[in-house]
Amino acid sequence: MGAGELPPGQRLTKGWPVAHYGPVPKFRPDRWNLQVFGATATGAQYSWTFEEVSALAGITIETDMHCASGPTSTGHEFFGVPAATLLELAPPAPRVTHVMAWAEYGYSANLRLSDFDSARTLLATHHNGEQLTAEHGFPLRLVVPHLYGYKGPKWLRAIEYMTQDRRGFWEERGYHNIGDPWTEQRHSYQEE
Ligand SMILES: Nc1nc2c(c(=O)[nH]1)N[C@H]1C(S)=C(S)[C@@H](COP(=O)(O)O)O[C@H]1N2
Ligand SMILES: [Mo]
């Protein structure tokens, strides 16, 4: 998808701006893990070291990134583990409808299970052939190409399986619960 096709109300920005709330966390490999918890099929919790996550088969996707405050940056190539792989390794209970993606310092974003399970949703480790930089989410970030940027936590640490919806960090602060850029779902006041 090139610069010709921007979602409504977005403006093209050069390069790759950095946008987040709070400080950039430090990666401590000995303490780091990726967890899956909540309503798993067996009730078990799952945990992977960064080495284990990196050993999972990865795919590459190309995407633009749309910040809900307006800027769109183009030409991103992300490499990482498909979210669908995580759902296979850690099956959710049949009644799971949503997930919460948790990052360092308690940042969170809620997603419909179908958005998380989308073929292009990625737990990304690399961008344009290089390991992610600290400010862009190293060692792991979620990329949900079909939603606004706030739905993709940088410094991802856990996925919580939920049997009902619950709002994440920006969703509690006035951002739209779904966040589809193509229908301009920016603000919570637009929700039915
Ligand atoms: N942990 C964390 N992840 C986050 C955010 C944040 O505040 N904290 N901001 C989100 C928002 S609003 C956007 S637009 C993208 C920006 O990603 P970038 O800085 O790599 O461009 O990160 C998202 N992921
Ligand atoms: Mo954003």
Q: What is the tens place of the pLDDT at every residue in 93-123?
A: 999 999 999 999 999 999 999 999 999 999 9
Alpha helices, DSSP H, located in the chain: 50-55, 83-89, 113-116
Cα 184 to ligand 2 centroid, rounded to whole Å = 13
16 domain-assigned: no
5 lies in some domain: no
Point out the ligand 1 atom lying closest to the alpha carbon of residue 154: 3
Tokens of 132: 């992610």
| Domain membership flag for residue 48 | yes
What residue ranges in 23-58 does DSSP mark as E strands? 34-38, 46-48
In a domain, 63, yes or no: yes
**Domain of 160, in residue numbers:** 30-190
Is the residue at 118 inside a domain? yes
Q: State the total domains in the chain.
A: 1
Q: Whose CA is nearest to atom 18 of ligand 1?
A: 18
Peptide bond into 139 cis (omega under 30): yes
**Residues paired with residue 173 on neighbouring β-strands, in sequence order:** none
26-74 confidence digits (pLDDT tens): 999 999 999 999 999 999 999 999 999 999 999 999 999 999 999 999 9
The CATH number covering residue 135 comes to: 3.90.420.10
Side-by-side strand order, sheet with 46-48: 46-48, 34-38, 156-162, 98-103, 108-112
pLDDT at 1 over 60: no
Q: List all residues whose CB is within 6 A of at least one atom of ligand 1.
A: 16-21, 65, 67, 103, 107, 136, 149-150, 152-155
β-strands 156-162, 59-66 pairing = unpaired
